Structure 1
Amino acid sequence: MPLVDVTLTEGRSPEQVRALISAVHDAVVTTAGARPEHVRVIVREVPRTHYASGDVTVAELFSKEQP
């Protein structure tokens, strides 16, 4: 029973998240040969202030990119 856990920063529309779930689900079914009803997809959205790389949060990174 495959389980795919995706973590994203907040800001995508419900339609975008739904499309992501479908694409991930289909990819697992196609590549892993899993039965569709056995595939689990979890999408976690976190605030940009709680997601960092190299000690820089996504919020800080985006604020630096703004003119």
Structure 2
Amino acid sequence: MPLVHIDLLGGRSETQLHQLVKDVTAAIVKNTGAPAEHVHIVLNEMADNRYSVGGVMKDEEK
């Protein structure tokens, strides 16, 4: 059972998230041979004031 965790900043549409999990599932199936119904994906969306790169919070970049 492949289990994939994806951390990303929030703000994407439901359509984008649905397409993301479809594409990731297809890649896992293609590259591992696991059946799609065994592929589990967890999306962790973070607020931009909870993520930093180089000491700068993402919400400060705007």
What's the TM-score, normalizing by structure 1?
0.85
User: What one-letter code is carried by the residue in structure 2 that aligns with 1:41?
Assistant: I
Instruction: State yes or no: 1:51 paired with 2:57.
Output: no
CA positional deviation for 1:54 = 1.4
Unmatched 5+ stretches in structure 2 = none
What value does the CA root-mean-square deviation take over the aligned residues? Answer: 0.9
Deviation at 1:14, TM superposition (A): 0.5
3-state secondary structure, aligned to 2:29: helix
Equivalent residue, structure 2, for 1:28 = 28
Which 4+ runs in 1 deviate beyond 3 A? none
Which protein has the larger Cα radius of gyration, Structure 1 or Structure 2?
A: 1
**TM-score, scaled to structure 2:** 0.91
Greater per-residue helix proportion: 1
* Structure 1 unaligned regions, length at least 5: none
